[in-house]
Amino acid sequence: MRLHFNTIQFFSPLSGEAGGVMAGEVKVHAPATVANMVCGFDVLGFAVNDPYDEMSICFTDKPGITIINEDEYNLPTIPELNVAGAALLAMQEEMIEEKRGFELRICKHIKPGSGVGSSAASSAGAVVAANRLLGDLFTNEDLVRFAMNGEKVASGVKHADNIAPCIYGGVTLIRSIFPLDIVPLTAPPLFVTIVHPQIEVRTSDARSILKQQVLLKDAIRQWGNIAGLVAGLLKSDYALIGRSLEDVLIEPVRSILIPGFDQIKQLSKEAGALGGGISGSGPSIFMLSKDEVTAREVEKQMHGVYEKLSLDHHTYVTNINQTGVRFV
């Protein structure tokens, strides 16, 4: 589908007034996300309130996409090699009659390779901001579809378990990629503790070590956990959520890449966490708790493990972000 947008009128959800294509600059905060939710490999994910990337976009008279990094990570500025650039290029393919390009500024607070959706935040933040600049031409599903091109640059695979919650907010189920079918899920109040050991696990590397075939008995157990987790979220059944946070397929392979993983998981559950596991492809580890007091105690246990290992790390105690990318 190709869209014209030279003289489009739109309804602005921010102002409540009709107007033309928005001028000036659009600024957003693009949140970190936790993908997989232990048992839901590539199909479940949720957004968190902290950390997030800061991004801004404006039109330029120069065709194409100009990327300016305002952080220390020295990521590629060639659009085809940058996850945000790839997402914007996919968006531009469905536009005609517009000669101006985009200038995108990115200040990343979500470290690349951290396992909390750094590439998704850049990809999703870019297309959400650009869409607002264009007068909200595209649907959220369109934006997910565009942003998945950024994930392909990062990992070699188009997946949406980080992208969807980053754009929709909350917890999302990716029922299908082709065709895209995203199901937002309700969830009870949950506190999230994340620890990021200062090592890098590349998503592409973490995917390459996974088994290509699994035993039927393991698949059946995994399906039961996924169904149980979704049911637990919808029913606000914390006990069921906790019982379902089990991964018999991916975690046993990937956890060997993360120092202290087994100890952190054990101590966190002893501290009262419902459960948790690897965030995305790692190395970050997340744990879910019913209340902030428990989440803070889990944080102390995480600190203790990595202090004994003399491994630098960052922690976050946050909760689920219900709005996704936020305009500022």
Write out pLDDT tens, residues 137-183.
999 999 999 999 999 999 888 999 999 999 999 999 999 999 999 99
Q: What is the pLDDT of residues 263-319, one digit of tens each?
A: 999 999 999 999 999 999 899 999 999 999 999 999 999 999 999 999 999 999 999
> What is the C-alpha separation between 289 and 320, in angstroms, rounded?
11
138 phi, psi to nearest 5 deg: -105, 155
> What is the C-alpha separation between 130 and 250, in angstroms, rounded?
35
- Residue 203 is among the residues annotated as catalytic for this protein: yes
Q: What is the pLDDT of residues 84-140, one digit of tens each?
A: 999 999 999 998 666 679 999 999 999 998 999 999 999 999 999 999 999 999 999
- Residue 141 is among the residues annotated as catalytic for this protein: no
Share of the chain above pLDDT 70, in %: 92
> Is it the case that residue 81 has pLDDT exceeding 80?
yes
Task: Quickly state the pLDDT bin for 61 (edges 50, 70, 90).
Answer: confident
Catalytic residue among 33, 172, 193, 203: 203
- Indicate the CATH number for domain 3-185+323-327: 3.30.230.10
Query: How big is the chain by its Cα radius of gyration, in Å?
Result: 20
Catalytic residue among 151, 251, 297, 299: 151
Task: Quickly state the pLDDT bin for 1 (edges 50, 70, 90).
Answer: very low
- Does the domain at residues 191-319 carry the CATH identifier 3.30.70.890? yes
Q: Is the dihedral of CA 16, 20, 21, 26 positive or negative?
A: negative
Which among 94, 77, 169 is positioned nearest to 124, based on CA atoms? Answer: 169
283 preceded by a cis bond (ω within 30 of 0): yes
Segments of the chain assigned to CATH 3.30.70.890: 191-319
Segments of the chain assigned to CATH 3.30.230.10: 3-185+323-327
